[in-house]
Chains A and B, each alone.
Chain A
């Protein structure tokens, strides 16, 4: 069919030489994230976005501020005397400063601005003020309350205007164009049509123009947006995806990486007395167009310093481990995300600590000790490392807290001084009345009055770097500047290394920051254009994420928190930390990915990280099914089908954009409650874990029920259903043909019993079942003191059943609610299901199915069951994550064991019921969902003839009616003497 239609259309256009859209427009793709969209906080909306008017205009390219201001003042009338419309101004981004901001905002002839790369290279010590942040960054969330709103300490001298260029509601749409091919095209069009020809100062039609538009769904502020989103949700209440509130804006939420060189393990005697040092840094910055933020000095150099510290500790981990275990003083590396938006990552972390669910937010897990705020002694954060030509480093502490408890901090400061000295740098002594500049510490300071801070930075009273949080935080590096920066980073890393060593009472003699590692990371992150062009990162990545034109953070170097697609930087940080702090000593016998994943599978740490990674990936890949189901026991379960797991493992690229007018959609993250169930469940699991650390799991009989379908397991065929349509079934037989309920029990020594039961059992049926199948088994092993495990389904936990157990002397295991993940029977089911439905087998009768299940059950042997039961201690105790990844230097794969977590955190403001968004305690930043038009280049023609055309049209219409009015039926019906027409005769 299609070839026909196609040939048809091609012929039409060919034969008549008529033009189609292809002869009018040149479409340029706009990478998501390069167009300025609206961001909102609790009280205002900001961002470079249009006012929704027409997005057409003639292109003008501007090279100096004078040219811009001159042109704006007269709307380029002298150059384009015949044209009265608006203009798209191409502007190198370093011309957009505070002085022209006002002109741009007040001009009536701007359709939009296309920002291009700076007109001149910027070097790191360049003093020109181009920060898009405010002069007192993050003052609303500062610990120093008196500064809030009326910041006295204007620390960011680089701010172009006091509130920061980002915190302006531009009425002008801005787009960043980076692709040189696109720019060349625009330049050519501009040169051909818009530049006055020799000897002339003006140019007339046709003119080169362009159009682009962006529509934001949200307006006002975050609170308004949320309220409207909920109203919308009510309209769409019949939506099957109950969690899918049609939000108009998405809370900024980023992936944070936490890693422990030596984790504190629950149950050890030190649980209460352990102390923590946090070495923190941030993962995010922003620019005027938020995504366009390379963040070299705002983020990357300090991040490298922290990674280098971790690598130094990791390379002599045994010493460190020994010392830590002796002293019970632990170090945690924290890479927070969203810090430049009022500390999203750190405030959410503090909130979790306060709730007692940090580091593991959602499971039974007691394996890493829950950290609480009072255990944290000090937070060290490096900032803007490498931003001055000097070698001095300044330490910023909170002088009040310092005065209260001088000795421990002095000790650390001293160690840092020694460390910096050994690396050729000097740490200046703490100043009197020192205050902590904007840093993650502020979140912690609000949570606990004793946490000390050391911000390590090359600046003293105010920032030495004038492009902090800016689109221009990207430098051209000379060889000398590069060498200097690398040595600065090494010095800062060494200072932190010595501090960590001193804190944990480790001997520093074996510890050294690897300069090659620092230099490599510097080349890979700071010097390179994106994350995909250096060997080290490419080897580490090994095609897990790829460069893409679909999203700016996958296309170029961006450190924006990047809510919609996620920023790949977090993966690299995660992988580098796994490499730096992980070890493959314990896993030398693991030879492939699968075994490594198997090790990881039962690890709660790992599971958290993976589930959240999956959530992210699924937001990106819409075709994977993801849903929450309410299972039989009233618990939410996060349900994934086999396909999506596969997709995650072969993760390649960010979203696909088939529609030019695509909607930037948010990743839908489940709310805290949905994800982990009510607090009561968490506590139960915690209790369960604590009380069963010494349990002999071989004595437990695990039991569970499962439904088998004739056509295959539930969950193999997922699809999204529109409730307004009739359901479609993947199976020809509705509801899987027919089904069978199976109860099974097993223990470490072998299978106990399998029985087929009705789909609806009551307590009596259940007791009868147990009397038939369980009691004989228990009687035979009376001496073994077996314990029976069952989940808390209503039938199992009814008073009648419990009484029955008591009467029969069956000991029950206390089982936390909603914890199928803890039950090894679940794994047994999956083995059984796989075998029963091997080769996509379907069964025609229930009896066939019964026979098959029975046969497979009988075929299960002890070698399979023993490891399942053996995994029980792991399920609740294991501390480590196992990652199959290459060594970034050699490319050789191995299974790294590390204690690391990649967690997505959103600001507590969005989880607190009824939180007042005008309150500045927590970050309330959201970004609007938006859709973008295609960017089109075209020729603009004189439209003065349009009205004449209309007049001509009216005239022709009148004239035709006149002429036709002169004709009558008789004009065309002429009696030529033909005979009256009969059948078959002429007309």
Chain B
């Protein structure tokens, strides 16, 4: 236990989020703002949930109910964020659309970018929720002690599930998954918001988002009884499902996903990205909306 461990935990938890942030957000001021706004919306949802929990707590032990309400509030926050963005869009267009006089350097056009924005905002929410999930625990890991003594003294017995040496690892992985989950849920919910009123089938992504969110949360509550590993496996599988579904929402198919996965694996094994960086650079040049040149 110590600072090394805490550092490792944070690296594991937030490395994917950082990679995404670095790739898609950091170069665009508008996206940075939207990212932070996403985090803010999640915090507001949490604040409201806590108030409701406080209110319910005086009536009965509304643990599960509070979780359910908390999840609904989070989804509601996503919807309200979408509505807010829609309201703000005309203004945003003025600073993002190529050719406008007031276009800011570094920004990318919002046209056709709703999934990208979902990624940005979802990442903001995910990072914040991941941080809240783990920061207390990670802070505790930084000290010499590990979790479990007060409970052990109270119960006069050791609860091995709360004191194993892999506990920090499990925590870090669940934070990692939570961050990524928020991206997929945001893509799903916003797709629903975007297509709202067209057909009945537009409800499907929203329902899937809420159900998986509930499922993941409820499954995680049993991990404290020693099932960390299994819970993580289940959550990971659910995440793969969600990711695949998002791929489908974004116009792909399962086959195309598998193909991309296959080619990635081949490239990884053959170290293509090291072998031929110039090709990768060209691929970037070929992107339709690449605006790097504007910066320079």
Interface residues of A in 1-21 (CB under 8 A from B): 3-4, 7-21
Q: How far is the CA of A205 from the CA of B289 in the complex (A)?
A: 55
Interface contact A24-B46, CB-CB below 8 Å: no
- Take A11-B50, A14-B63, A15-B70 as given contacts and tell me if A945 and B166 are in contact as well, using a CB distance cutoff of 8 Å: yes
Chain B residues within an 8 Å CB radius of A14: 53, 63, 66
Does A975 sit at the interface, judged by CB under 8 A?
yes
A225 to chain B, nearest CB (A): 31
Does B133 sit at the interface, judged by CB under 8 A?
yes
Interface residues of B, Cβ cutoff 8 Å to A: 1-2, 4-5, 7-9, 11-12, 15-16, 18-20, 22-24, 46-47, 49-51, 53-54, 63, 66-67, 70, 85-87, 89-90, 93, 108, 110-117, 119, 132-134, 136-137, 139-140, 143-153, 156-158, 162-166, 168-169, 172, 176, 194, 220-221, 224, 250-251, 260, 264, 267-268, 273, 280, 283-284, 287-290
Q: How far is the CA of A12 from the CA of B288 in the complex (A)?
A: 43
B47 to chain A, nearest CB (A): 6
Tell which of B4, B19, B54, B268 touches A946, judged by Cβ atoms closer than 8 Å: B4
Does A432 sit at the interface, judged by CB under 8 A?
no
* Number of A-B pairs, beta carbon distance below 8 Å: 260
Interface contact B144-A209, CB-CB below 8 Å: yes
Does A986 sit at the interface, judged by CB under 8 A?
yes
Q: Can you give 24 A-B contacts (C-beta < 8 A)?
A: A8-B47, A12-B50, A19-B162, A23-B148, A23-B162, A26-B150, A189-B149, A189-B153, A192-B153, A205-B165, A206-B148, A939-B145, A941-B164, A946-B2, A953-B15, A957-B18, A960-B15, A960-B19, A964-B19, A972-B116, A982-B93, A983-B90, A984-B90, A987-B194
Q: How far is the CA of A947 from the CA of B8 in the complex (A)?
A: 8
Interface size class of chain A, counting residues whose CB lies under 8 Å from the partner chain: 35 or more
Interface contact A941-B146, CB-CB below 8 Å: yes
Interface contact A969-B290, CB-CB below 8 Å: yes
Tell which of B137, B158, B251 touches A18, judged by Cβ atoms closer than 8 Å: B137
Interface contact A972-B165, CB-CB below 8 Å: no
- Take A940-B144, A950-B7 as given contacts and tell me if A970 and B114 are in contact as well, using a CB distance cutoff of 8 Å: no
Interface contact B16-A956, CB-CB below 8 Å: yes
Does A77 sit at the interface, judged by CB under 8 A?
no
Does A238 sit at the interface, judged by CB under 8 A?
no
Interface contact A23-B133, CB-CB below 8 Å: no
Interface contact A192-B273, CB-CB below 8 Å: no
Does A456 sit at the interface, judged by CB under 8 A?
no
The chain A residue sitting closest to B251, CB to CB, is A974
Interface residues of A in 935-987 (CB under 8 A from B): 936-947, 949-950, 952-954, 956-957, 960-976, 978, 980-987
Interface contact B115-A972, CB-CB below 8 Å: yes
Does A398 sit at the interface, judged by CB under 8 A?
no
Does A185 sit at the interface, judged by CB under 8 A?
yes
Tell which of A8, A940, A956 touches B176, judged by Cβ atoms closer than 8 Å: A956
Interface contact B15-A957, CB-CB below 8 Å: yes
Q: How far is the CA of A983 from the CA of B147 in the complex (A)?
A: 53
Q: How far is the CA of A9 from the CA of B93 in the complex (A)?
A: 38
Interface residues of A, Cβ cutoff 8 Å to B: 3-4, 7-26, 54, 56, 185, 188-189, 192-193, 205-206, 208-209, 211, 936-947, 949-950, 952-954, 956-957, 960-976, 978, 980-987
A197 to chain B, nearest CB (A): 11
- Take A949-B5, A965-B280, A968-B283 as given contacts and tell me if A936 and B145 are in contact as well, using a CB distance cutoff of 8 Å: yes
Interface contact B110-A981, CB-CB below 8 Å: yes
Chain B residues within an 8 Å CB radius of A189: 149, 152-153
Chain B residues within an 8 Å CB radius of A22: 150
Interface contact B114-A986, CB-CB below 8 Å: yes
Interface contact B53-A19, CB-CB below 8 Å: no
Interface contact A24-B8, CB-CB below 8 Å: no
Q: How far is the CA of A209 from the CA of B2 in the complex (A)?
A: 14
Q: How far is the CA of A188 from the CA of B150 in the complex (A)?
A: 11
Interface contact B9-A7, CB-CB below 8 Å: no
Interface contact A7-B50, CB-CB below 8 Å: yes
Interface contact B53-A973, CB-CB below 8 Å: no
Q: How far is the CA of A953 from the CA of B175 in the complex (A)?
A: 13
A541 to chain B, nearest CB (A): 37
Interface contact A21-B140, CB-CB below 8 Å: yes
Lowest 7 CB-CB distances: which A-B pairs, in order?
A938-B145, A11-B50, A953-B11, A957-B15, A949-B8, A7-B54, A983-B90
Tell which of A16, A954, A957, A964 touches B20, judged by Cβ atoms closer than 8 Å: A964
